[in-house]
Chain A
C-alpha cells in the first residue's frame, strides 16, 4: 500500500479511496490575484492597526464626541489600585484587556497602545509609516480586484463560482449538513457554501472596506458626498471599515481551516498550478456552457 502513485488505479480490494479526475480549475488570473491579495491584506491589516492606534476609539456619526459620548469602542489604559491596566470598552461593556489591547509589552516596559507591537507595522508607534504602507497596498488591492473582475467575467469564474444563483440557495441546507459532517465535495465549480463565502467577500466586504476607506478621505467626501450619506458620516464609516476588517480576519481563519480540512495539498496545488483533484464521478471537463463566455447560453 506504500507505493500507490498519484493518479494510479486502485486495486479492486481494500478500502482505498477512489480518485476523480485532475482538472484545470483555477485560471492564472485567479491564482495570481489570490496571492497578491494574500500579501496586500497582510500589510493592510497590520498597517491599519497601526493607523487605528493613533486614536484607538470608534464612533457613530459625522464626528468624534469629546464633549459628549458617541464612542462604541475605546481602548484606554487607566490607573487602578493594582497599578495601570489596559481596558477595552465595547458598547458600554468594559473589559480588562491588559497584555493585548490598550496595554501590552513587558511588566518593566509597558506599552500603552491600542493593538500590541506584534500586530502593527511598524512595531513601534509610527502613524506616518503606517499610512505609507496602507495606501500603497490599498492601491494593490484595488488594482488586483479590477484585473480579477475583468478576467473572471471573461473566463466564467465569476458566473460559475462566485455569483449566487437560486439553485445554490436551494442546495445550501444540504451543503451545510455535509460540511458539518466534514464531507466535502470537490467539483468543477464551487459548492453553495463556498459561493456564499466568496460572494460575501467580493460583493459585500471588499466594496464596503474600499468605500468606507474612501469616506475617510476629506478629498473623496467632496468628490462623492453621497459616501457620507450612505455610511452615515465619516466616523461611522471608520467604524464600518474596522468592523469589515474583523470580518475579513474571520473569513481568513475559516478559509485556512477549510483548506486544511479539505486537503491542503490539493487545495494549495489548485491555487499554485491551477490543477485540482476532484471527487470521483466528476466530469473530466467542464461543460461547454460554463466555459465559453462566462454567461450561460439561453
Chain B
C-alpha cells in the first residue's frame, strides 16, 4: 500500500501548496484590475451594462423609491464629498443669498432657459422623505423639497435626439497633487422625468445648507449618492457625454465607478 499512500500524500501536498499560495499571494495578484484601462477590467465592467439593462426592464419608469415618515428622520443629512465649493464666484453668490444664482438649461433644447432660485421656488414643489444611499455603504433618511425637474425641462423642450442630461456643478474634486476637476454627473431621460427627481432647494424644512449642495442639489432617488450632484449651475442636454471631461458621464465615473449607479 506504500505506493498509493505516497502519491496521495504528494497530491494532497501539492493541492495544499497551490491553495495556500493563492491565498497568500492574495489579492495583490489581482491588483491589475485596478488599472482603469485594463482589458480584463473592461470585460468585467460589461456586467454593469447588463445590470443597467435588466434593472431598467424590471423597474417601471414611474415606480417610486420608498418614502418614509417624519418619525423616521432621526438625524441631519450626513454631508459627503464636497462640503463647500469655496470658489470666489460661489462665495460671492452665497454672501448674496444666491440672489444672483441662475440655473441654466442648454444643449439639445428648443429654448435655452434660465431660472433664478426664486423662480424655481415659485414653481409647484414636491416634498419627499427618502433614504440617501452612499456608494460607501451607509444610508441616511432626510426630507427633500424642490422643483420637479420635468417641469423645468418642459419649459426648455427637449429636441429629438436628446438622450442624457449632464449636470455641471460649482464644486471641484481632487486638488493637492492632482489637478482639481469640476464635479459633473449625468442621467438618462427616465431618471430625468421620474416624478421624484427634483431640483432640491430645501432639506428637513430648511433652506438647503451649503454642505448639502446649496442652492440646488439634484435628487435622483433610485440611484446612489454620487449620481445626485450638488451645487448644480447648468444642465446640458446631450445625445452623448463621450466628449465631456473624461467621457464616462461623471466625475466618479471618470474615476472607475459605474455610470448607472442604481446598485
Contact = CB atoms under 8 A, between A and B. Distances in A.
Contacts, number: 176
A248 to B, nearest CB: 16
A53 to B, nearest CB: 9
Interface string A259-289: 0100011001000000000000000000000
Contacts of A218: 65, 131, 133, 221-224, 262-263
A133 B27 contact: no
Interface string A233-261: 01100100000000000000000000010
A264 B74 CA distance: 55
A120 B222 CA distance: 28
B26 A223 contact: no
Q: A interface, by DSSP: helix, strand, loop or mixed?
A: helix
A132 B72 CA distance: 33
A220 interface: yes
A123 B139 contact: no
Interface stretch (B28-36, B97-105, B107-115, B174-182): B28-36
Nearest to B25: A118
Interface in B1-54: 1-4, 8, 11-12, 15, 23-24, 26-28, 30-31, 33-34, 41, 44-48, 50-51
A122 B27 contact: yes
Contact of A2 (B3, B133, B138, B223): B3
A168 interface: no
A214 B11 CA distance: 41
Interface residues of B, number: 61
Nearest to A214: B263
Given A55-B134, A216-B263, A218-B222, A124 B2 contact: no
Given A118-B27, A122-B30, A129-B33, A63 B74 contact: yes
Q: Which of A3, A4, A216, A221 has the most CB of B within 10 A?
A: A221
A132 B43 CA distance: 10
Contact of A217 (B26, B72, B252, B262): B262
Contacts of B55: 217, 219-220, 223
B135 interface: yes
A63 B27 contact: no
B132 to A, nearest CB: 8
Interface in B135-183: 135-141
B33 A228 contact: no
Interface stretch (A64-72, A99-107, A173-181): A64-72
12 contacts: A2-B3, A3-B3, A54-B135, A62-B72, A62-B139, A64-B138, A65-B74, A66-B75, A123-B27, A129-B256, A132-B258, A219-B260
